[in-house]
Structure formats: structure tokens, C-alpha cells
Amino acid sequence: MSNSFKKLFELRGELEYKQKITLTVLGGVILVLVWFLMAEVLAKTVVTQSESIKISSLKEENKLYYENDSTLVANYDKLEILSQEELNQYGLIKNKVYPLLPSPIKVIKAFPELNKDDDVIGNTFFSIKLNVLGYLLAILVAIPIGFLLGLVPLFRGLFSRIIDSYRFIPLTAVTGIFIMWLGLGSEMKVFFLAFGIIVYLIPVVVQRIDEVQKVYLNTVFTLGASTWQTIKTVYIPYVLSKLIDDIRVLTAISWTYITIVEMLNKGGGIGELIWTAKRQSRIDKAFAILIIIVIIGILQDRLFVMIDKIFFPFKHVNKTNKH
């Protein structure tokens, strides 16, 4: 057994760059194959009308009739075992449907339809705009409050435990409150998203401040730094360098919140498209929209990594040397 193969099973072993790419592609192929097989296993064959039916030609056990002169009723259990030739005599066809899990092929075919009928590109950019605005507002609010709670014992004693408890508020339950305050427009959606991020981000800022090592503080104290100089040269660089990773993780949660509020009214966005697909029983469209969200999330993640490398290059020195 080669050393490179053994490394794949080492505890906390590190993969080479080429191995990461190869395994990522292979993992994706495996997941798609599993998805395809599961969709086929869960698929059902149903009988549907293809043209005018000659009711008089049907056998009694397969009798079809029109309820209220409009709704077609049939003994489908018996019809499904008939051959296609027999079905053709009655103007019927067999179709495969995917009620629980759509086939990957069906999902791919749903993309052009989403683009043509649902303006998926415009709705996607609308959701991205709300997400960005909500994030900017959350960061502008959470970082100053977090520093205040983390650095000043008075404020930490007064408010830290109270703000920590906000994390247990079910955000879906407060949507009604935000609607009463701000209506159903985009402004409400931005503030709701910002609130959902703030309740998690403030405690994280406080935690990052607590993680600052004493050796750095002792060094600047020895050099005679003032309180503001200590904050500027130690706390701010350290906390922000760690906080960008926390913000990157929270971007995944933000898409959950934004789809929740977009389902509340017809104001546009990906959430509304998911709700529309659900009402139409178009599970293939819903999966296609979820894939779009995943792709956006991956691109956002890479963007945060690029920003991290630009503003905090010291974090990536060792990683670069390894490659």
C-alpha cells in the first residue's frame, strides 16, 4: 500500500491540493449517483389522459367516467397493470412521476423554465441585495456593542447575559412582530435578517475579546501604551482577524432567514420562488432553487476567504508554505 494512499486514512492527516480537488469531484459524482438512484426507487408510474376517451370501449372493471361533466375518474390500480397498447385504446398514457425526490435530470431541465417563467436571475439578485444590506447593518451594530460588552466590565455585567439569552428566541416566531413594526416591505426583511445575525454575532465578539492572550496585553503595557492604543493595536486586529471566519459561517444561516421572510409576501426573491414551486407541486423547481442558493453560498465563502487573505495575510502564511 503506497504512502499517499495510507495518508488518506491517517487521523487528522492533511491532504495535498490535488487530492482535495480529486476527492471533491469524486464525492460530488457519488452524491449525484446516490441521488439519481434514490429518485428512481421512490418514483411512481401513474396513468394520465392523453386524448378523448371512448368510454363505451372500456371493460367494466376499468370503467372511466366524468364526474360533474368535468373531472375524470378511473380505477387506476387496475389501469396501471395494463399494457401501453391497451392504454392507447382508451386514450391513456403511463408517466413516471417523482413525488418525493426529483431526478437530477428533471432538476436540470427546471432551470430554463425558472429563467423563462420566474425571472430567477432577477429574484436571486434581489435576495443577494437583501442579504448584503442585512449583513452590513448587523456588522455595524454588533461589533461596537460587542466591544463595549467585552471590554467594559460595567456594561458586561448589565447586559451580557441578557443579550446572550436572545439566541434562544425562535426567529420564526418574531416575524409577526417585525411585520407589525415595519410592514411587509424590503425594509422589514433587512431588519429581520440583521436581528437574526446580531443575536449570534455580539456574543461571538465578546468571546473573541476574551481569547486575546495575556502576553500581547503585557507587551503593550510594558511599552506604556494607553487604553486606546491597546484597543487599536491589540484588540481590534486580533478580534477582526478571528471575526471574519465567524461572519463567514453565519452567511449560511442568513439564507435560512431571508427565505423565511420572502415567503411572507409577493415582494420577489428566492424565498418567494420556493413558495411558488411548493404551491405548484414542482419539487424539481424547488431543488433547482436550492442548488442556486448552495452555489451562491460557495461563491460567498470564497469571497470571504479572499477578503481574509487581503486584510489578514499573516493567517495564511503557513498554509501557503505547505503548498
In a domain, 102, yes or no: no
Residues 130 and 209 in one domain: yes
d(CA 227, CA 323): 40
Residues 199 and 142 in one domain: yes
Mean per-residue pLDDT, 142-150: 94
What is the predicted pLDDT for the residue at 322? Answer: 53
Residues 86 and 168 in one domain: no
Residues 162 and 261 in one domain: yes
CA angle, 89 then 95 then 100, to 5°: 155
- First-to-final CA distance of the chain: 24
Residues 141 and 244 in one domain: yes
What is the predicted pLDDT for the residue at 93? Answer: 65
When computed from its CA atoms, the radius of gyration of the chain, rounded to whole angstroms, is: 28
Tell me if the pTM is above 0.95.
no
d(CA 252, CA 34): 24
Residues 31 and 144 in one domain: no
What is the predicted pLDDT for the residue at 48? Answer: 60
pLDDT digits (tens, 9 = 90+) for 38-94: 998 888 766 565 545 554 555 555 444 444 444 444 444 455 555 666 666 656 666
Whether 133 and 191 have beta carbons less than 8 Å apart is answered as no
Residues 175 and 317 in one domain: yes
Residues 221 and 176 in one domain: yes
Q: Read off the CATH number of the domain in which 137 is found.
A: 1.10.3720.10
Question: Based on the structure, what is the number of domains in the chain?
Answer: 3
pLDDT digits (tens, 9 = 90+) for 181-225: 888 888 888 999 899 899 999 999 999 999 998 888 888 888 888
Residues 177 and 231 in one domain: yes
d(CA 261, CA 270): 10
In a domain, 199, yes or no: yes
* Among candidate residues 73, 97, 121, the one where a domain is terminated: 97
What is the predicted pLDDT for the residue at 186? Answer: 86
Residues 30 and 50 in one domain: no
Q: At which residue does the C-alpha cell 430554463 appear? A: 112
- Least confidently predicted of 28-37, 150-159, 214-223, 251-260: 251-260
In a domain, 280, yes or no: yes
Is 170's pLDDT higher than 60? Answer: yes
* Among candidate residues 79, 97, 115, the one where a domain is terminated: 97
In a domain, 262, yes or no: yes
What is the predicted pLDDT for the residue at 29? Answer: 94
Residues 234 and 87 in one domain: no
Residues 249 and 307 in one domain: yes
- Classify the phi-psi angles of 52: left when phi > 0, otherwise alpha if psi is within -120 to 50, otherwise beta: beta
Domain interval for residue 85: 44-97
